[in-house]
Chains A and B, each alone.
Chain A
Amino acid sequence: MRTITGLLAATALTSASAAFATDLEVTHWWTSGGEAAAVAEFAKAFNEGTDHTWIDGAIAGSGSTARPIIVSRILGGDPMAATQLNHGRQAEELVEEGLMMDLTEIAEAEGWKDVVNPPSLLDACTLDGKIYCAPINIHSWQWMWLSHKAYADAGLDVPQNWDEFAASAPQLAEAGKIPLAMGQQAWQSNGAFGVMSIAIAGIDAWTDVFVNKNEETVMGPEYTKVFEAAAMAREFSKDSKVQDWNLATNLVITGQAGAQIMGDWAQGEFAVAGQVAGEDYTCLPGLGANEVIDTGGDAFYFPVNDDPEVTAAQKELASILMSKEAQVAFNLKKGSLPVRGDVDLSAANDCMKKGLKILADGGTVPSGDMALSRDILDELEDLLTEFWSDPSYSPEEAQKAYAEIISRAE
């Protein structure tokens, strides 16, 4: 295919100066219903807005399945035209090796620096002053979802923060409900712990650990409270024997469980089930204690390509992904927040609006992906999933092990 395009390009070089139609292969791991619909919006915008064609290279499975495939294709000399990755340090070495295209030119021409909010998103794409990726959306972890039905069945008021929730949990359990729904997969227990650490230890302590990598703070009183709360949460969630996050969310939707700590993507499940925020479920950003959200999310990288035609088309794609129209269309379907501060999202629901407000107020922290390398993140994940699944693992021991890992972070 590429040779044909190349031949066409070569023969046409002499004759015309118009833009040529090029096929761009785009890889991503957005394969669930809502995600696929969202990415189709990008494909539509690209196919209609340019002469080029979007070739969809969806990779089934989660990011942890897709990422090695994507990386090995780029390293193996068979780069796709564009690919989804979580921005942050995952692609750091690929960029250092010069395998990713420098987008600084377009970014400056279109003023990405002025429109991208929060600016940390663009910082995560920047290495040595050059921009290497286009941020696409913001996903935040810091949400707790509460089922109104479960609380009504137990004859309790819906809690408004973590402490109230913790106090109500024993009564929920007595009423035959699972207080806290939790999937058994490692990334879920890890993520929930991250949410609890920001909400309970506070932003300063969290920043000191994740950004300054200060292991003494891990041993400090703020984090002690976090580990105690995590041990409580472990007890609350001991009866939820499901694997996938959406099955855990389903326990909340059907009122079998009181609450779940999960990122804003859970919202899509409530929407599909026809539930209304504020009536059927409550969302508490930052567990209702510290209303902040992290600004993780997805970004598109454009691997370096020998073909100038492809390079030109890659730049066009980058600019379309950042356009106002594509941002709105994509993020409404995806349930995530747009990276531009200057778009109108009046169609968003209550929970999304809460998120937008926090974003506008500047209540954001960088995501773990941006602050720590994958290696350290995986070690933390191993530790927390073990802690979460083994009731005999004491919070004090986990705290020590956590501090030890942080002390080795670069």
Chain B
Amino acid sequence: MPDSNAAPRRVDGSRPPNPLFRNLTSKLAALPMVLTALVVFIGCTGWTIVHSFTGSKLLPKLNWVGFDQYEKLWNTRRWLISIENLALYGIFSLCFTLVIGFTLAALLDRKIRFEAAFRTIFLYPFALSFIVTGLVWQWILNPDLGIQHVVRSMGFTGFEFDPLYNASIVLYGLLIAGLWQGTGFVMVIMLAGLRGIDEDVWKAARVDGIPVWKTYIRVIIPMMRPVFITALVVITSGIIKLYDLVVAMTAGGPGIASEVPAKYVYDRMFSSQNLGQGFAASTMMLLAVAIILIPWAYLEFGGKKHD
């Protein structure tokens, strides 16, 4: 590949061509993508943010109300509970998915028998949508049909396990289903990362007499940094858009104990016919993602070029 940045010298002395038209075909080919990015992502995001400062009800209108929507949003108990729920769910989900995913992958990587079969079994839940996952777990956790019923019918009549009907632990009910669905995929990513580790690293560790667990923690995991980052992005984006699992399992209940921000946005926009409030809430979600992701992505990907 010739360096495209160096302007080619013209023999006949005419002006160099406008850089805009260089590589015209590839630029044309990229145009749809550029337009999509500009119009759909940037344009619609801007439109949403602008309208979050209006009093739009069922239809988007430009009747400015300043920061009223945001003021209302942060005075709404349900929104605060939603944020708290998401934070809790996020922290637990992130830690457990990574730990369980990596452990499973490491176990599978020990050249066990029937590896393909186990891999398929662990990955299977990921093929189900959150709605199906939610419904299945709603039945399993239902006190009259699921685990509680089974254990009680075995003779332990005092046994109580009804996370979906108990406001203080409903989040853990959601977490169980979320982990069941999501860890398989993380495990596969991790496994791919483990397979990318050079066999010589293991040999060297063995020669030095380092125990296996220590090799994992001190050598392998630091080497797998890019894989962990990929997994992290996949898990976090899944957490922030958490919605369907809640709808299928609890519909936000009992009471409003398992509400999440995405559900608040949907309910305000479509059920309450209050677009302005929904836009304000979704702008806050965008802001949260931006605050977390931008500096981190900059450090992670932007800084690398100088190495």
Contacts and interface: CB of A to CB of B under 8 A. Distances in A.
A241 B165 contact: yes
Interface residues of B, number: 26
Interface of B: 57-59, 76-78, 143-144, 162, 165, 167, 251-257, 267-268, 270-274, 277
A67 B254 contact: no
Contacts of B251: 185-186
A375 B274 contact: yes
A382 B167 contact: no
A186 B253 contact: yes
A378 B254 contact: no
Nearest to A89: B273
- What size tier do the contact residues of chain A reach? 20 to 34
A71 B59 CA distance: 10
Interface stretch (A280-288, A324-332, A337-345, A385-393): A385-393
B256 A94 contact: no
Given A241-B162, A375-B57, A375-B277, A385 B271 contact: no
B57 A93 contact: yes
A184 B250 CA distance: 10
A11 interface: no
B253 A382 contact: no
A186 B270 CA distance: 17
Interface in A52-98: 64, 67-68, 71, 75, 90, 92-94, 97
A64 B253 contact: no
A375 B272 contact: yes
Q: Per DSSP, are chain B's interface residues mostly helix, strand or loop, or mixed?
A: loop
A378 B259 CA distance: 14
Given A241-B162, A375-B272, A390-B167, A75 B254 contact: no
A383 B57 CA distance: 21
A386 B77 contact: yes
A373 interface: yes
A219 interface: no
A-B residue pairs, 9 tightest by C-beta: A389-B255, A68-B270, A93-B58, A389-B254, A378-B272, A375-B274, A386-B255, A375-B272, A386-B256
Given A374-B272, A378-B271, A382-B256, A71 B77 contact: no
B165 to A, nearest CB: 5
B271 A68 contact: yes
A119 to B, nearest CB: 26
Contact of B253 (A94, A185, A379): A185
B84 to A, nearest CB: 13
A388 B255 contact: yes
A186 B256 CA distance: 9
A64 B167 contact: no
Nearest to A405: B76
